[in-house]
Structures are given as structure tokens and as C-alpha cells.
Amino acid sequence: MAQAIRIKGGRIYDPLNGLDGVVKDLCVEDGKIVEECQETAEVIDAENLVVFPGGVDVHTHIASPAVNAARALRPEDHRLLCCPRKPGMRSGVGHTIPSTFTTGYLYSRLGYTTVIEAATPPIGTRHTHEELNDVPMVDKGCLLLMGNNEFILQYLKLGELDKIKRYVAWLLNSLKGFGIKLVNPGGVEQWKYGKDVEGLDEKVNHFDVTPRQILQALTWVNEELGLPHSIHIHANRLGVPGNYEVTLETMRALEGKRVHMAHVQFNSYGGDDYLNMTSKAKEMTDYINQHRNVTVDVGQVIFGDATTITADGPWQYRLHKLTGNKWYNYDVEVETGAGVVPYTYREKNNVNALQWAIGLETFLLIKDPWRVFLSTDHPNGGPFLYYPWVIKLLMDAEFRTQMLKRVHKHVLTRTLLPKLSREYSLYEMAIITRAGPARALGLRNKGHLGPGADADIAIYADNTDKEEMFDRAVYVLKDGKIVVRDGEVVQSVPGRTIFTDVPADDDIMNELREQFENYYTVEIGNFPIPLEELPFHQAVPTNRSA
Amino acid sequence: MTAVKELTVVKDVTCPFCGVTCDDLEVHVDNGKIVVVKNACVLGKDTFLHHHEGLATPRIDGKPASIDECIEVAADILVKAKYPLIYGLDSTELHAHRKAIELAEILGANIDHTSSVCHAPSLQAVQTVGLPSCTVGEVKNRADLVIFWGCNPAEAHPRHPTRYSVTAKGMFTPMGKKDRKVIHVDVRRTPTSRMADTFIQIKPHSDYEVFSTLTALVNGHDLDVPEVGGVPLGEWRDLVELMKGAKFGILYWGMGLTMTRGKYHNIVSLVRLIQEMNRFTKFLGAPLRGHGNVVGMAQVLTWQTGYPFAVNMSRGYPRFNPGEFSVADLLGRGEIDAAFIIAADAVGNFPAKAAEHLKSIPLIAVDPKESETTKVAKVVIPVAQAAVAAPGVAYRMDHIPLPMKKVVDSPYPSDRELLDRLIARVLEKRKDGQSGRKRVAGRPRG
Amino acid sequence: MTAQPMEEIVLTFKGTRGSTIPLEADPITPDVLQLKFRPEIERLPLYHGNEQVLLGDFFTVKGERSNQIRVQGDLSLVKNIGAGMQAGRIVVEGNIGMHVGARMSGGEIEIHGNADDWAGAEMTGGLLWIKGNAGNRAGSAYRGSKYGMRGGVILIEGSGGHEVGGYMRRGLIVVRGDVEDHTGARMVAGSIFVLGRLGARTGGGMKRGSIVCFHTPDMLPTFRLTSTYTPLFIPIFLRSLQARGFSVSEVQRARHFTRYCGDMAELGKGEILVCQG
């Protein structure tokens, strides 16, 4: 087990430790990065290669009841990419909603070693964990959906913030969640009777509370509990022209608090319909640049097939009406909703081209790379398989110029993209795909290559074509084991489920018992997930206990 | 194995019988025997109280054998087969599902489960147009209009009406039945009609026409026909108005739609009706699923292979095509050369032609109890019944997973243990024998 | 080694030696065979259950390097012939298994026998001519796909099964015999001619497109009679079919048609034309 490896002579990009292309050896022992190499260490010759920490995806959808519903919905998508069984590895299907084993292999090939499933309904979290148990190669955690939880809304109505805090702690503790996710706060509750909310101060049906109150209460709880990750928000009015105002308003409402705005591209639209839609990336990024409490992931759009999967039920209904595509909806008692609609982004489509450009503007206009992270909101903006294409767009202004000639002409007049000549460096790329998201998630052992870090390492062959460079890693080490060699997975490792170690509070469970019985349909005793159900796991301490 | 020696009371027990998946049972065990089952319906009670009756015994060609001997012969059969079938998996738990899929992958087999012969058309319809749906708790908390169509929950899912859909009291339905209107549509009266405020009797095989008609009416078209499905158009207009007037409607359907003329087309037209209703109000639908944990098998198969049923692994990766790789079609055309039936009675439930073919090929039956399948199987391997004598996870009809408990001991291995041992033997036999044959499923490919 | 390409490749099926396991013969398309010598053709991989076999195990091969293929024997258990083909020609002398010509985008397939299910499913171009009967879902979609046939022509001289032309988006299907239920299910465009009798629910869920019938089908209640008229294109079209050798006895009868539009449960812009003589 005590495997020691010396990665020899690679160019190291380790932003958390300030290493910008420094050539030096890296030593690995017992799954960790160490100061000194053992003499007997196996040597990986990394001369002329680029060494990055393993990739960290702060926002993806790879396992949840809704993700699995999307798989079941789309046999036509799976037929496009079949992955045969290999010794020690399982078969599967790929493309926009890969099967679990394949998800792990595909992420690993790209050099990713940690991914966060960004939305699981509490009552379906046993399912999410069972799926994640079948996603090999990467460490993974899940964010619990809470922004429309009726118990929370009820407590909020009664002004019992402390009970919200205890309830949230109980949810995280008993379900082995990593953090708190809000999706269209208040809006999904409205959707349960077929409606949505328009703004932050609209009252939510039956509960006499507003999205603003929900946002502020859960952000307070997040900080009170000292969760490693900030509150993680999918703002109201996603996908709708003119939504940048409510997004700005959301950030203002939480001014001064740590906040992560998810797939912000989908929330940066001006105009009042899809014909006159414009980019408001400038307004959004101006705010973000001035407010250091905000981190974002972009939700970059990829041209081609996507599958939209979100807890934002009302948005999915709108998308179904816009496209005529098949529509799956799944409202979850007490907690949340979900919807799935297949979607294809087209270069020549006015809206899609703007979405593509707004994502790139967001990347290029945010000055501090530590606060903007690479995501496609997989598979909403497109599959994670296309991250290398996004990297090329960010690192190669000439390639962007070529793309600008192909996409719908509105991009030229309604966005700043044609004027932006910034190119990301490798160092910055290591920040937005590794160091930044790891820091935002509060994962101290991830996203860097200093002693004590998990030996999650991705090694690439430098190449002027950055898409080719990042398409397949030459080596990937997961916990110090070589799992990818020459772009192919050579060894399957299970990966760990990471969750936040929030102290338990059994009293709140007894207080909840009656409402639970009245409004849920399962016994409260059957709700918590014992640790034995997660064969490979790791608890992350809160900032309170640290 | 040590039996439980004194009276123990186990609470929050999950029932494995149907897709209602009640998890509030209380089971009393006296000296290793289940003596009392509280809260369960008559079907659930039977499952626990009579679980020790009619148990299967390990045997090969009708002669008693040890479990190891049975596994050995089973592995031989499966390794030799070119187009084997793994089928069943409704009365077991998700780790066994996982193992069965792994076995299918190693063998390059076809794998299918009980959905294929009950609600597969519902799954196909979802693949065609989607489905707006919800968990049962949403129905309990909100539904003020419940339509049961081509199903009979009063007899097949006895606690569904009380726990979730008719008399259940919830957040916005504090008066239970008084807050709801219940409609039953079917080709004949059943006990479910008695629970309903209104029963609408339609002609057999006219559901598709009726759903189309209702959708056209919802979309504001008037039709020039006097009646549809044997019911005057006016009554359908009234139903549409009732549906539009509901705050939260739910339509539950059953095998009266999936297994009659039109099959998945019936469900497609139903789903389109529900989807169009959402222009006016909240309206959702769901199939009344379950025997046992059939939903769980569909879930695991979907996350591991991408497809919910009818999966073929003969090329080393999953392929899906109901009609081609679905169990009744594979057997009906006589293509399968060996079958491994686990946690379901195939011979007892299949169409005659499919059952006949099963009897003509090497057949392995894994089941806690004797069945029509064990009667004709070459190898019979008894196992511990999941949710009674083995723990695990079961899925409710609305895809909510619940833990299943072990309440008594069994002298036999659980499904998952048995599959583990069988897989180990299959992999061993792959290593030594099998020279000269190019096995796609086990071979590395670029 | 011959330098000249041969006229035709003839593949004669040796049978499955009593096995009822279907044989998957994906490489049998002109696109794959046209540049290959005979020994290469014999070594092409086919799949028999979970076993990979060689084409030569199941077929005797005559000829090489041609985009004209003749397949002989009872191929009822042989799947995927001509699936995805882009050009060239396949003649099948006998019955053929599932998926013949599925997803084809060009070229011609002529079958002197019956075809099994999914013949020409999701095809985008080319001609699939079935002299016998077709199974279910001819020219239709695989599960989950938004569209079935998107171009090309399917001619069926015998009968068709269920869901002929389901989800069709473009192209033409002509069936001389009878068809079963759900012809043109959820189609969005394209044309289907059925000269024989039709099963239930013709055009169910159709948005646009045309279904031309020569026997009155059971109309769904969601179709509305709009007119009776004399479309000139139908007899012209039928004569052109005759000229190509697809015999049609209905040419003289094809004068007056009643037109129904529907399906009102969907967009309602499809039409079903019913011949009144």
C-alpha cells in the first residue's frame, strides 16, 4: 500500500502555493504529497510535461433522482457513446448523462479528481449516495436542496431562525450532505401550484415569506454552522431575459456574506423577451469585481446536445413550452421540485449564441480568477466532456475570433466579447479549475500540491492547442495511485464520499417528529442514512470545529 | 446461524410486497418466528407471517444438493451460454440488483426484470414525451382531485388510498377525503369505484381515444362526435372542466392501460393530456407501480447502464431496445439458450410461448420459495428473503428509496451473497476453460 | 489478386446450424465492403450472441471490392444488414432480420422476401424496397428519438406492421398491403400511402404530414372532416410508382378524396386523405 512516487522534472502549476510553472520534483507517499521522496520511489518522468493539482468541479449533476430520471428519459442520447467493459472496469454509456461508472472514467481522463453534485433532495439523498457509490475515480460530495423546504419556510414564518439552524444541521448530519443549495428560492414552492416568483420580495404562497428572507436566513445558517463551503445559490428567474436584475438583487441582499452564485451565465440576461435579449455580463461582473464575498461558476454553454436537469421546476416547464421537447417533472414532498428537458444549443440561434458569449464574457471580465470557476453546469449548458473546448476558448483569443465568425451576429452587437482580448494563462487555468474551487469548497487537501495535500494530480502534455492538451491527461494520480496513463484509465479506484461533519442534534428530531409524520410519507427513523451505507467516505470538519 | 431467541419487536419495518412500500410496520418475532405484524395490509401481513412456508430447497435436476454444488453447476451453464438471460429481480434489494447487472456484464447476457411485463409501456412513454410527476407525499399534502384510471389500488395497493391518495390528511388537505374529489375510470366497476365520488365506465380498448379527446377539449377544440369510449362527449367536457378547476390534480394509472391495445401509445396520450393541463393548473401523473422492488431494479439498471429495462450486454456494453431485447420477445422468439431467474416467478407469469421456451433450456432458479419456475428449473438455489431475512434498500413507486430490515434469520445466503459467490466462480471458469472462443464481453477493446 | 473491381459481391448464408441466436451482421454494407478483398471480407467480425465470429464462418463470399452486394439465403435471424449505409446497392434474396436499412442515408436496398422489425428506422435517405412484408416500426423511430424517418423512400409490396412511419419528419412510405395500428404515430411531416386496410388510430398524435388511405380507416375522434377534393398529384405519383415497377391497381380509382385534419390533441395540421373513388 505504501506506494511512493517521484514525479520528476515537471513544470508545476500550484497556485495555492504560488508555483507558476516551476520545474521541480513532486513526491508522493501513502496517497499524500510529501516533502521528501523515498529512494525506492517509482519515477514518473514528467520532463516537458505540465503538472496540475487534480481538477475540482464545484458544480455538476452526475447523481441524483433527477439525474437518473434524465438517464431513463433519454435512450437516444446514450446510443451516441458506448463504453465497453475492460478488465477491472465496467461498461456504460456516455454523452450528456453518462452512466455512473463511465462518469467516473470520463472525469478522470480529463484530470478531474473531485466533483460536487450540486443538487439532491433530502428524501432522495439515499439514492444520490447509492449512485455516487457507483461513481469511481473521483471524490464526491452532494449539496442538499433547502431553498424551498416547507419546514424551513414554516420556521421562517414564525421567526424561529435557531430552529432552522438546528434543522439544517440535522439534515446535513443525518443525510451526509456536504453543503446547502438553494434553487429558485420560493419559486419552486410556488411551482407546486403551477406558479413562480417574479422577484425577491414576492410572498410565497401559504408561507408569508419572501425569497429575500429565505436567502438571508439560510446564508446566516450557513455561516453560523461554519460550513466549509459558502451558501450555493441558483438564483430566481434563471434563463429568463431581464433576470440580471434579480441576480444583482440577490447578491446585494447577501452583501458581506460568503456566497457562491451557480452557473451565473444563465442569470445575466437583459432585455424583456428572447428576441431583444442582451448580455448583462458587464453589469454582473462589475458587481462581482467590486464584492470579494462572491464566487461564481459560469455554466458555460457548449454548442450541441445537452440535457437540462434542475430543481427549478417552473423553468423546465417554460423550456418545454419553448422547445416542444419532452418534459419530465418531479415535485418532491416538503422539499423541492425537479425537471428534465433535452436541449440542443445551436451556433446560429440568437439566444444560444448570446448564452455562449455571455459565459465567455463572464470568464474574461472577472478580474480575480480565484472567484470564477469553470463549469458547464453539466449537463445543462453541455456535457463536462467539453471542458477542454472551453479552456481553449479562454486561452486562445484567435480561436474566439474564429468562433465569432460562425455564431449568430447578435453576439457582435449585444455583447462585449468581440472587444475582449484577454487570454488565460496556465496558472490562471489551474486556479479556475483547481485551486479556486477547492478553496471555495473549503477542501484544504484538494486543489494544491503542497505537503499534506491529497495526491490527486493531473499531468498534461503541453500543446499550443489547449483543447488537445486538456482533452486527455498523460497521467492522473488519485490518492497517489496512477489511475490514468496516456489518456486511458488503467486502474479503477472507488473515490470517497465527502460530507461535512456537522454535530448532531437529536432534540430537533424529536421536535420534528409530529410534523414529519403529518407531512412526509416515510418514518423519521428511516430517514437518516447510516455511515455504513457509504463504504468509502471522509468527513470534513466545519470551521467551528477546526 | 443463530436464531433470535426471545420476543423482539422491530419498528419502522419496510414491507417488500408492493410499490406502496409502507415503512411503518411493526413486526414481533418470537423465538425466530414472526408472530405479529402491525400496520400492514392483508398482503403485507401475509408476506411476513407466511414467509417460512413453501420454502425452496437446494437441488440439481430434482436431486438435493449443497448450495456450493448448485453454484458450480449454475456457473457452468452460464459460462457455456452464448445468449443467456438474467431475469426477475423484483423481490430483492439494490445490492443484489448491482450484482446481477455485473454478472450480466461479465457473461455478455441479456438482463431484464419484471417491469418488462408490467409497466414497460409506461417507461417507454416517458422516453417518448416525458412525464410531469411527483412523490406520493405531494398527493397527500396537496391533491384535491385524484383520478384512478385502469387500475385498482383498493385491491392491488391497499394502503395507497389511506396513506397517500384518498383519505390521507396532509399540509393543504387537512380534512383528508373531504378535501378531495376522487374519480375512477375503468372498463368495469371494482372496489376502487366504491372509494370514488364518480365512476366512469368506458369501453375496453378505448383509452387512447378518450385521452386524445380530453386533450383536444383541453386545447379548446370542439369535436363533431357524439360519444367517445361509450361515454357522451358532454361528460368528457364536464371532466375537463373539473380538471381545470382543480388546484392540484393527479392521475394514477395501472396495467389496464399498459397491457391493452396500444400499450405505450395509451400512456403517451395520457401524458400529453397531463402536460397540456399544466397550462391551466397543476396536474401530474404517475403509474401505480410495484410488484415488490421492481422500481429499484429499474433505478439501478438505469444508473449503471443508462437504460431502465431490456438491456443487452452481448457486445460488452449496454444496448437497449424493447421488442428486441425485452424478455417476452427474446423468449417468444426462442433465442435464449440459458436463463438465470432470480427473485421472480417467470414461468408462472409469462405468456405460454415464453414459458415453454424457458422449460426447454438450462434454467437456474434463485428464490426463497418454491414457484412454477423452481418446479421446472435444472438448478434451484434457495436464498434469504430480502426485507424479511436479509437487509437492503427498496424503492417506492415514486422512486424514493427506503431501508429494508432483516427481522429473522435464514439458513440460506442473501441474494447478494449468492451472486457474489456465483460471480467469483464464473470468473474462475472464464480463466481456465473457454479456449479458442472469442468472448466479446470479457475482452478488452479499444 | 485481381486488379479490376468485380461486378458484385455475393454472400451466401450458410445458416446458423440449428442455433436460434440471431447473428448481427453490421459490416454487410457497401460502404464497408467496397474497398476490401475477399479474404478481408471473410475476416470481418460479426456477433453471434456474446461471441465474436467471422463473416466467413456464416457466409460463403464470392467477389470483392464492389459496392453492389447480393445476399442469399434465409436471413430471418440476421440483423443490421445495410444499417447506416451511405451508398451502393444491396439485394437480399430471401427474408431478412431486424434493422435492415436502419439509419441509412443513401443507396438502395432491395429485399425479395420479408423484412423484420425496424426496417428503415430513422433512415435519412436512399431507397428501401421490400417485396414482401415488413415488420413493426418500418421507417419509425428507436425508443426516445424525437424523429423517425427523416428522408428517403420505403416501398413495401406486402403488408406493414404496427407504427409504420411513426415520428416521421420527411420522406415517403408506400405500403401496398395492409398495416396494423398507429400508422404515422406522432409524425411531424412526410407522406405515407397505404393501399390496403389500416388498423386502429391512424395518424394518432400527428402534428403535420399526410397519410393517404385507399380504404376508410377508423378515424380517431380528434380528426375533423374538412373537404372532399380531387388532388391531382396522387394519380400522377401512383403512375410514377408504376413506371418504376411498383404495381398499383388503384391508379384509376384515385380521383376523389375526403380530407380530414388532425390530430386535434396535438398541433392539428396533419391530414388524412381517404380515397372515395
The 3-state secondary structure of B199-220 reads: EEECCCCCHHHHHHHHHHHHCC
Residue B269 is predicted with a pLDDT of 98
Query: Which residues lie closer than 8 Å to A526 by C-beta, 6 or more apart?
Result: B12, B14, B23, B402, B403
Q: Report the C-alpha gap between A469 and A482 in whole angstroms.
A: 19
**Residues near B443 by beta carbon (within 8 Å), at least 6 away in sequence:** B316, C52
* pLDDT at position B434 over 60: no
Reported ipTM: the value is 0.96
Chain B residue numbers with beta carbons less than 8 Å from the beta carbon of C44 are: none
Instruction: Please check whether residue A331 is in contact with residue A192, taking contact to mean a CB–CB distance below 8 angstroms.
Output: yes
- Tell me, yes or no, if A367 comes closer than 8 A to chain B by beta carbon: no
Q: Does B311 touch chain A (CB under 8 A)?
A: no
Q: Which residues of A touch B399 (CB under 8 A)?
A: 65, 68-69, 124, 127, 330
Q: How far is residue B344's CA from residue B365's CA, in Å, rounded to a whole number?
A: 9
Tell whether the model's pLDDT for residue B334 goes beyond 90.
Answer: yes
Residue A137 identity: M
Task: Find chain B residues with C-beta within 8 A of C136's C-beta.
Answer: 323
For B104, which residue in chain C has the nearest alpha carbon? C50
With H, G, I as helix, E, B as strand and everything else as coil, classify residue A463.
Answer: coil
Count, residues in chain B:
446
Interval A250-257 mean pLDDT: 97
Answer whether 0.90 is exceeded by the pTM. Answer: yes
What pLDDT score was predicted for residue C7? 86
Residue A504: predicted pLDDT: 77
Chain B residues in contact with C266 by the CB 8 A cut-off are 215, 272
Residue C50 in contact with partner chain A when CB distance is under 8 A: no
- Residues A277, A362: Cα–Cα separation, whole Å: 16
Whether the bond into B232 is cis, omega within 30 of 0: no
What distance in Å separates the CA atoms of residue C209 and residue C222, rounded to the nearest whole number? 16
End-to-end CA gap in chain B: 47
Q: Tell me, yes or no, whether B47 lies in a domain.
A: no
Is pLDDT at B443 greater than 80 in this prediction? Answer: no
| Mean pLDDT to the nearest integer, A9-29 | 97
**Could you say which of B264, B287, B310 is where a domain stops?**
B287
Chain length of chain A: 546
Chains contacting A with at least 3 CB pairs below 8 Å? B, C
Which residues in chain A have Cβ-Cβ distances shorter than 8 Å to C45? none
Mean pLDDT of chain B: 94
Using CB atoms, which residue from A93, A326, A523 is nearest to B23?
A523
Return phi, psi of residue C12, to 5°: -105, 120
CB–CB contact A99 B318 (8 Å): yes
What pLDDT, on the 0 to 100 scale, is given for residue B440?
Answer: 44
Pick from B84, B216, B313: which is nearest to C265 by CB? B216
**Distance in Å, alpha carbon of B236 to nearest chain A alpha carbon:** 23
Worst-scoring range by mean pLDDT, A80-89, A165-174, C56-65?
A80-89
The verdict on a CB contact (< 8 Å) between B441 and C50 is yes
Tell whether A47 is covered by a domain.
yes
pLDDT value at position A543? Answer: 87
pLDDT at residue A212, as a whole number: 98
A157, A209 contact by CB (below 8 A): yes
- Nearest-by-Cβ selection for B439 from C51, C143, C221: C51
Average pLDDT of the segment spanning B236-261 = 96
The band of B444, judged by pLDDT with boundaries at 50, 70 and 90, is: very low
**Is A240 within the bounds of a domain?**
no
Contact criterion met (CB < 8 Å) for A90 and B102: yes
For range B212-220, the mean pLDDT: 97
Q: Which helix (H) or strand (E) holds A296?
A: strand A294-297
Clarify whether residues B423 and B346 are in a common domain: yes
Query: Which residues of chain A are within 8 Å of residue B300 when distances are taken between CB atoms?
Result: 130
Any idea what the CATH number is for the domain that residue B361 is in?
3.40.50.740
The verdict on a CB contact (< 8 Å) between A521 and B393 is: no
Q: Tell me, what's the pLDDT at B5?
A: 60
Residue B275: beta bridge partners?
A: none
User: B426 in the Ramachandran plot: left (φ > 0), alpha (ψ -120 to 50) or beta?
Assistant: alpha
Which structural domain range is residue A12 located in?
A: 1-137+425-496
Pick from B224, B268, B440: CB nearest C50:
B440
C-alpha cell at C81: 444488414
Q: Testing the interface with A: which of B303, B313, B398, B426 to mutate, by most A Cβ within 10 A?
A: B303
Residues 6+ apart with CB under 8 A from A277: A241, A269, A270, A271, A350, A351, A354, A414
Counting residues of chain A whose pLDDT is more than 90, the rounded percentage is: 95
Question: How many angstroms separate the CA of residue B150 from the nearest CA in chain C?
Answer: 20
Task: For residue A107, give the 3-state DSSP assignment.
Answer: helix
Distance CA B263, CA B208 (A): 9
CA distance B147 to chain C (A): 20
Distance from CA of A525 to the nearest CA of C (A): 39
Dist. CA A152–CA C225, nearest whole Å: 56
- Whether residue A298 contacts residue A373, with contact meaning beta carbons closer than 8 Å, is answered with yes
- Residue where a domain terminates, one of B266, B287, B308: B287
CB spacing of C222 vs B262 below 8 angstroms? no
The one-character DSSP state at B103 is H
In single-letter form, the type of residue at position B67 comes to I
Which residues, 6+ apart, have CB-to-CB distance to B269 below 8 Å?
B207, B208, B211, B212, B215, C204, C205, C265
DSSP state of B12: E
Taking residue B233's Cβ as centre, other Cβ atoms within 10 Å add up to: 17
Select the residue of C53, C186, C221 nearest B223 (Cβ to Cβ): C221
Say if residue C251's pLDDT is above 90: no
How many structural domains are present in chain B?
2
Local structure of residue B176 (DSSP, 8 states): G
A vs C: CB pairs below 8 A: 14
Contacts for A349 with CB less than 8 Å, ≥ 6 apart: A408
Taking only the tens place, the pLDDT of each residue in B93-108 is 999 999 999 999 999 9
Closest-CA residue of chain C to A325: C146
User: In chain B, which residue's Cα lies nearest the Cα of A517?
Assistant: B170
DSSP classification of residue A433: I
B137 near A CB under 8 A: yes
Q: How far apart are CA A220 and CA C206, in angstroms?
A: 53
Whether the CB of B275 is below 8 Å from some CB of chain A: the reply is yes
Do B217 and B223 contact (CB within 8 A), yes or no? yes
CA distances from C239 to C159, C195, C242, C245, C246 (A): 21, 14, 5, 10, 9
Return the partners of chain C (3 or more C-beta pairs < 8 Å).
A, B
Averaged pLDDT for residues B110-127: 96
In a domain, A545, yes or no: no
Query: Residue A2 has what pLDDT?
Result: 56
**Residue among C180, C202, C222, C261 with most chain B CBs within 10 A, to mutate:** C222
* pLDDT one-digit tens code per residue, B142-172: 999 999 999 999 999 999 999 999 999 999 9
Contact B208 C204 (CB under 8 A): yes
- Output the average pLDDT for chain C: 95
Nearest CA of chain B to the CA of A189: how many Å? 11
B14 touches chain A (CB under 8 A): yes
Write out the H or E segment, with its range, that includes residue A33.
strand A32-34
Give the residue from chain B lying closest to A68, CA to CA.
B303
Would an 8 Å CB–CB cutoff place C145 in contact with chain A? yes
- A76 in reach of chain C (CB within 8 A): yes
B141, closest residue in chain A (CA to CA):
A519
- Confidence class of residue C103 from pLDDT cuts 50, 70 and 90? very high
pLDDT value at position A81? Answer: 87
B76 and B133 inside one domain: no
Helix/strand/coil (H/E/C) assignment for every residue in chain C: CCCCCCCCEEEEECCCCCCCCCEECCCCCHHHHCCCCHHHHHCCEEEECCEEEEHHHHEEEECCCCCEEEEECCECCEECCCCCCCCCEEEEECCECCCCCCCCCCCEEEECCCECCCCCCCCCCCEEEECCCCCCCCCCCCCCCCCCCEEEEEEECCCCCCCCCCCCCEEEEEECCCCCCCCCCCCCCCEEEECCCCCCCCCCCCCCCEEEECCCCCCCCCCEEEEEECCCHHHHHHHHHHHCCCCCCCCCCCCCEEEEEECCCCCCCEEEEEECC
Provide the number of structural domains found in chain A: 1
Which DSSP symbol is given to B386?
B
Contacts of A402 by beta carbon, 8 Å cutoff, 6+ apart: none
Bridge partners (DSSP) of residue C213 are C194, C274
In a domain, B375, yes or no: yes
From the list C51, C220, C268, the residue facing B82 with the nearest CB is C51
Residue from B164, B188, B170, B167 nearest B250 by CA: B164
Residue B7 maps to a domain: no
Contacts of B248 in chain A (CB under 8 A): 192-193
Do residues B274 and B253 touch, judged by C-beta distance below 8 A?
Answer: no
**Burial (0-12, 13-18, 19+ Cβ within 10 Å), A450:** middle
Q: Would an 8 Å CB–CB cutoff place B5 in contact with chain A? A: no
* CB-neighbour burial class of residue C18 (10 A; exposed 0-12, middle 13-18, buried 19+): exposed
Q: Which helix (H) or strand (E) holds A260?
A: strand A259-261
- Sign, Cα dihedral of A250, A251, A254, A257: positive
- Peptide bond preceding A396 in cis form (omega within 30 of 0): no
In a domain, A349, yes or no: no
- Residue B323 lies in domain: 56-117+292-389+407-444
pLDDT at residue B437 in the model: 45
In a domain, A20, yes or no: yes
pLDDT tops 60 at residue B2: no
A91 contacts B275? CB cut-off 8 A: no
Give the model's pLDDT for residue C4.
Answer: 54
Is B11 touching A (CB cutoff 8 A)?
yes
Q: Where are the domains of chain C?
A: 117-275
User: What's the gap in Å between the CA of B374 and the closest CA on chain A?
Assistant: 31
CATH of residue A117: 2.30.40.10
Distance, in angstroms, between B319 CA and closest chain C CA?
Answer: 12
Residue B71 — φ and ψ, nearest 5°? -65, -40
A523 in contact with chain C, both atoms CB, cutoff 8 A: no
Contact A522 B400 (CB under 8 A): yes
Q: b/e map of A35-48 (b: 16 or more CB within 10 Å)? A: eebeeebeebebee
Residue that the C-alpha cell 401523473 belongs to: B285
Q: How many CA atoms lie within 13 A of A448 on its CB side?
A: 20
